[in-house]
């Protein structure tokens, strides 16, 4: 997903490049990063992506957004977004999302979204019997975080 300066990234985001909502968010983050390389973008729907190399299953990555800090700490759910938006300079907004009532509301809202993400994006058939899988065929156009 574009040139990545490995020595400057602060957080890596593992996103579903086949999810229209996810791609829109990733593009926004890419623009906000302004080529500074503070975010490493990893598309879990890319044919070369192998979840096992990260000690996870593809279903783990499909179930909830995942991220990783530069020091190797794994993140998931809303905390990934906090780290991403903090990396692009939205620290004061991120701090508000940590307030007790706000934190809980965001966590609950994200959990509902994550459970229904494929259905909401018209991709319910990507999960069968609770096991999510990456489609074997990808659309011709791929997303770029700065496109």
Cα torsion 121, 40, 132, 63 to 10°: value is -80
Q: Where are the domains of the chain?
A: 11-131
Residues 131, 116: Cα–Cα separation, whole Å? 14
**3-class SS of residue 73:** coil
Structure confidence at residue 120 (pLDDT): 84
pLDDT band at 31 (very low <50, low <70, confident <90, very high): very high
pTM above 0.85, yes or no: no
Strand residues in the chain grouped as ranges (E): 11-15, 39-43, 66-69, 74-76, 127-128, 131-132
Structure confidence at residue 17 (pLDDT): 94
Residues 134, 46: Cα–Cα separation, whole Å? 8
For the chain, give the mean pLDDT. Answer: 85
Segment 32-47 mean pLDDT: 95
The string of pLDDT tens digits covering residues 81-114 is 999 999 999 999 999 999 999 999 999 999 999 9
């Amino acid at each position: 997903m574009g040139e990545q300066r490995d020595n400057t990234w602060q957080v890596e985001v593992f996103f579903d490049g086949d999810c229209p909502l996810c791609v829109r968010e990733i593009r926004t983050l890419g623009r906000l990063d302004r080529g500074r390389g503070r975010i490493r973008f990893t598309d879990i729907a890319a044919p070369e992506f192998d979840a096992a190399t990260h000690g996870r299953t593809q279903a783990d990555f499909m179930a909830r957004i995942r991220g990783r800090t530069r020091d190797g700490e794994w993140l998931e759910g809303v905390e990934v977004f906090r780290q991403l938006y903090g990396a692009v300079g939205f620290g004061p907004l991120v701090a508000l999302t940590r307030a007790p009532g706000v934190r809980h509301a965001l966590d609950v809202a994200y959990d509902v979204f994550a459970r229904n993400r494929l259905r909401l994006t018209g991709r319910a058939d990507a999960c069968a019997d609770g096991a999510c899988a990456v489609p074997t065929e990808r659309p011709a156009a791929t997303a770029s975080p700065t496109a």
